[in-house]
Amino acid sequence: DGGITQSPKYLFRKEGQNVTLSCEQNLNHDAMYWYRQDPGQGLRLIYYSQIVNDFQKGDIAEGYSVSREKKESFPLTVTSAQKNPTAFYLCASSTRALNEKLLFGSGTQLSVL
């Protein structure tokens, strides 16, 4: 079955450490997205990519980095510059058709030790 796989489900970060969240899709979607969800808040866009080797900052990109070397993969690195990384991170993908619906992965809960 086609879908979006996020790993790990739970991740813990130590002070000063960079961590990478994995997102893989086998839907042949061109566009991929990373959202952050905090309690009591909606989802906020971190980064998105419309095509391989290209990506753009979203609303809250500071302290995060991404790469898009393959169509299927869009990993997110939470750097030590992100001072409040504890959140639920959701990856999504869509076709490049205008305003096509987003399909989401099952998410990664990141916590600080």
Partner 1 sequence: AQTVTQSQPEMSVQEAETVTLSCTYDTSENNYYLFWYKQPPSRQMILVIRQEAYKQQNATENRFSVNFQKAAKSFSLKISDSQLGDTAMYFCAFTANTGTASKLTFGTGTRLQVTL
Q: Report the alpha-carbon angle 100-104-110, nearest 5.
A: 145
Determine if 96 is a binding residue for partner 1 (CB under 8 A).
yes
**What is the residue-wise DSSP string for 37-82?**
E-TTS-EEEEEEEEETTEEEE-TT-TTEEE--SBTTB--EEE-TT-
Nearer to partner 1, 36 or 82 (CB): 36
23-52 residues in contact with partner 1 (CB under 8 A) are: 30-31, 33, 40-45, 48, 50
Nearer to partner 1, 50 or 79 (CB): 50
Least distance to partner 1 from the beta carbon of 83, Å?
22
